[in-house]
């Protein structure tokens, strides 16, 4: 949702509105392009270049916390700075700003890992590698308003991992009681991004309260109708740079429900800071579009 650390190869995007920044990150990490195991071994040898843990003030995930999480890769096998969620065996949902730049030109997203937890210690047997054969972005996506920040990645063959269920169109979230989980390898309170998948616990925030807080930080700004908000009113956990496109889920005994996609926030300087909410594309609102694309793509 926010902004990535700078540096060579930085693919950080700033939205068309000053003050709003996406949460993509620089593609400096690599596990594999063709030979997963060899690249994984090479990644370990580069451990001295590694950074710490991810998601501001979050906790470390294990391979059962968010098993359906996707890691987007570029044509060189490097991390493309974004995440996603497996919603069908051959379909990953992510943020539109992860697949196009500020001018709506395609970004370099060519493959995904499904189920990667740790860039240093995971072996090829612990996650799945799939090529991206098609990218479908919502045609109404706007970098300036960040509305319709959603895209789908069609994979070359089905993943074996069980996809996450999507919240139905009539699903309701309660700002008084619903605490959601988000995950990523992005910026933490102490590092530009993470080797280990991190998870943040975030309370759902009503649209009115979210707009009140956002308007205080950004004059005359309203959260898009296609989005929802989550976060704390005091210093606490938050999604941050490098978490874009990743899942926002409601944990239930019957299984996780995907309710949102990490999109953006006011400033990378205050990830996890006081009254710094994250804005997520609402899977609930976008469910008709997703269902229509699934039918059209026959996946």
Q: Which residues are catalytic?
A: 97, 149, 244
Contact 187, 51 (CB under 8 A): no
CB crowding 15-49: b at 16 or more within 10 Å, else e = beeeebbbbbbbbbbbbbbeebeebbeebeeeeee
- In terms of DSSP H, where are the helices of the chain? 36-45, 207-217, 283-297
- Which among 165, 15, 19 has a CA at the least distance from the CA of 93? 165
User: Strand, coil or helix: what is 63?
Assistant: coil
**Residue 233 and residue 226: Cα distance in Å, rounded?**
22
With vertex at residue 167, the alpha carbon angle to CA 161 and CA 173, rounded to the nearest 5 degrees, is 135
The helix/strand count (H/E) of the chain reads as: 3, 15
Phi, psi of 189 (to 5 degrees): -65, -15
């Amino acid at each position: 949702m926010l902004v990535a650390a700078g540096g060579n190869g930085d693919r950080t995007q700033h939205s068309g509105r000053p003050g709003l920044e996406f949460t993509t990150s620089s593609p400096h990490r690599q596990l594999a392009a063709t030979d997963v195991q060899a690249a994984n071994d090479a990644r370990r040898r580069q451990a001295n270049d590694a950074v710490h843990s991810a998601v501001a003030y979050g906790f470390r995930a294990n391979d059962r916390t968010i098993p359906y999480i996707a890691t987007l890769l570029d044509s060189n096998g490097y991390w493309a700075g974004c995440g996603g969620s497996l919603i069908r065996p051959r379909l990953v949902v992510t943020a539109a700003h992860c697949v196009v730049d500020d001018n709506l030109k395609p970004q370099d997203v060519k493959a995904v890992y499904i189920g990667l937890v740790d860039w240093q210690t995971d072996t090829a047997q612990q996650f799945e590698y799939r090529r991206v054969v098609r990218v479908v972005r919502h045609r109404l996506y706007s970098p300036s308003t960040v509305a319709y920040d959603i895209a789908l990645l069609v994979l070359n063959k089905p993943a074996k991992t069980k996809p996450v269920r999507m919240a139905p169109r009539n699903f309701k979230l309660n700002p008084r009681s619903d605490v959601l989980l988000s995950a990523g390898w992005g910026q933490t309170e102490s590092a530009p991004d993470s080797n280990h998948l991190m998870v943040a616990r975030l309370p759902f925030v009503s649209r009115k309260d979210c707009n009140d807080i956002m308007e205080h930080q950004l004059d005359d700004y309203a959260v898009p109708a296609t989005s929802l908000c989550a976060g704390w009113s005091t210093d606490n956990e938050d999604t941050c740079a490098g978490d874009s496109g990743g899942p926002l889920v409601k944990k239930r005994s019957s299984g996780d429900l995907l309710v949102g996609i990490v999109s953006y926030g006011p400033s990378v300087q205050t990830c996890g800071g006081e009254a710094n909410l994250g804005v997520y594309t609402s899977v609930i609102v976008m469910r008709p579009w997703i269902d229509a694309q699934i039918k059209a793509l026959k996946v």
